[in-house]
């Protein structure tokens, strides 16, 4: 049995402008290049998961102006049966500035993404089986409904709560249903600030310490923090306390050499970023989405083939998480050397070749 990935996804039309620097308040500058691409955090991650080898079923909404985006998603291998067209609204839009260093600034018009409902989630997940994965972000409506329904269907849930809301911890019961929480450093800090007992200032640059404090307040099995050029870190609850009753088949996962055992029930993983020369970086827009898509696809793959799961309980072991973090790191490393969102996402063979050679070939 191979676990599938379902996405409750934002779908955008990305308008990308190359600029000498990110505009400052009150400033007017000229762009040297304009491009239009298919995008949206959910759509980007869905394509990344497909290119990593997963079977992906997407639920989302577009206007008629986004039919070409749905066509691109379908051609990449995403199942778009639950991507519906609304006649009375337009597809979400993202206006993206990209500077000479490849850094970006983005603002969104949600469009059809903010018309998703509980009924859309229920219809989309009706074909899931126990243990299938749900991936979602905060770019759509009905996120809480999707999480609650997925949990009722015994799906595993990965949530990337971006953009971060100011009242996330008010929905702690919802967060407790999430198996894997993926954040960047800014999102980690904002989430920690919402927990009264955490003095964020006392942690300064101690990302793992801050993540551990959050993990003490939620029931997530895994918390990942992506750190851009500083790599990524992960916290994983020991297998005996993070089991899900998912029957799958067999193949081994190696023990990570960079996982640190603590006296508590939480173990740490640290990974450096992929060796991408600075002069090759063009656009970081889809780096995080690529990382998440590859990560969830690899979790589904190794869980489906894990000896720990034979006749018992599928777990998220440090070895599984470490392996997923590695392929995600090298895939996102390739992404930043290319322009656009979906067009920049590599095939799995490219990511594997980069990992093996530790040398990035020019696109």
**Which residues belong to the active site?**
289
338 assigned to a ligand binding site = yes
340 assigned to a ligand binding site = yes
333 assigned to a ligand binding site = no
44 assigned to a ligand binding site = yes
Residue 11 CA to residue 120 CA, distance in Å, equals 15
226 assigned to a ligand binding site = yes
Task: Using DSSP bridges, classify how beta strands 180-184 and 156-160 pair: parallel, antiparallel or unpaired.
Answer: parallel
Q: Are 94 and 40 in contact (CB under 8 A)?
A: yes
Task: Using DSSP bridges, classify how beta strands 259-260 and 266-271 pair: parallel, antiparallel or unpaired.
Answer: antiparallel
285 assigned to a ligand binding site = yes
341 assigned to a ligand binding site = no
261 assigned to a ligand binding site = no
Element (H, E) at 73: helix 67-76
342 assigned to a ligand binding site = no
Task: Using DSSP bridges, classify how beta strands 133-137 and 104-109 pair: parallel, antiparallel or unpaired.
Answer: unpaired
184 assigned to a ligand binding site = yes
Residue 178 CA to residue 169 CA, distance in Å, equals 13
Q: Over the Cα atoms of the chain, what is R_g?
A: 19
12 assigned to a ligand binding site = yes
Residue 221 CA to residue 242 CA, distance in Å, equals 6
228 assigned to a ligand binding site = yes
Residue 123 CA to residue 125 CA, distance in Å, equals 6
- Size (the chain), residues: 363
Element (H, E) at 59: strand 56-63
| Residue list, annotated binding site | 12-14, 40-44, 139, 184, 226-231, 283, 285, 288-289, 335, 338, 340, 344
| Residue list, annotated binding site for K(+) | 283, 285, 335, 338, 340, 344
| Residue list, annotated binding site for substrate | 12-14, 40-44, 139, 289
């Amino acid at each position: 049995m191979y676990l599938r990935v379902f996405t409750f996804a934002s779908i955008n039309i990305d308008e990308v402008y190359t600029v000498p620097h990110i505009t400052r308040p009150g400033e007017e500058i000229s762009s040297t290049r304009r491009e239009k691409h298919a995008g949206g955090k959910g759509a980007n991650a869905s394509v990344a998961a497909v290119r990593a080898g997963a079977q992906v079923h997407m639920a989302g909404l577009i206007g008629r102006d986004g039919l070409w985006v749905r066509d691109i998603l379908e051609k990449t291998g995403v199942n778009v049966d639950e991507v519906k067209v609304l006649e009375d609204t337009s597809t979400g839009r993202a206006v993206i500035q990209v500077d000479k260093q490849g850094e970006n600034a983005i603002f969104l018009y949600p469009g059809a993404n903010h018309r998703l409902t509980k009924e859309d989630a229920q219809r989309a997940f009706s074909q899931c089986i126990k243990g299938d994965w749900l991936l979602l972000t905060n770019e759509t409506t009905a996120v809480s409904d999707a999480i609650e329904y997925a949990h009722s269907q015994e799906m595993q849930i990965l949530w990337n709560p971006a953009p971060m809301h100011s009242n996330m911890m008010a929905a702690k019961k919802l967060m407790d249903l999430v198996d894997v929480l993926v954040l960047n450093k800014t999102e980690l800090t904002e989430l920690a600030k919402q927990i009264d007992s955490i003095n964020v200032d006392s942690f300064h640059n101690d990302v793992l310490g801050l993540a551990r404090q959050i993990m003490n307040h939620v029931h997530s099995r895994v918390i990942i923090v992506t750190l851009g050029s500083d790599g990524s870190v992960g916290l994983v609850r020991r297998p005996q306390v993070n089991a899900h009753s998912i029957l799958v088949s067999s193949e081994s996962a190696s023990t990570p050499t960079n996982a640190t055992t603590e006296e508590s029930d939480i173990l740490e993983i640290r990974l450096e970023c992929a060796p991408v020369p600075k002069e090759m970086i063009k656009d970081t827009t889809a780096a995080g989405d690529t990382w998440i898509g590859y990560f969830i696809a690899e979790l589904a793959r190794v869980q489906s083939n894990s000896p720990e799961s034979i006749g018992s309980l599928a777990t998220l072991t440090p070895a599984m998480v470490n392996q997923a973090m590695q392929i995600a790191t090298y895939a996102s490393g390739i992404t930043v050397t290319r322009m656009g969102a979906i067009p920049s996402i590599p095939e799995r063979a490219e990511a594997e070749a980069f990992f093996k050679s530790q040398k990035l070939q020019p696109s």
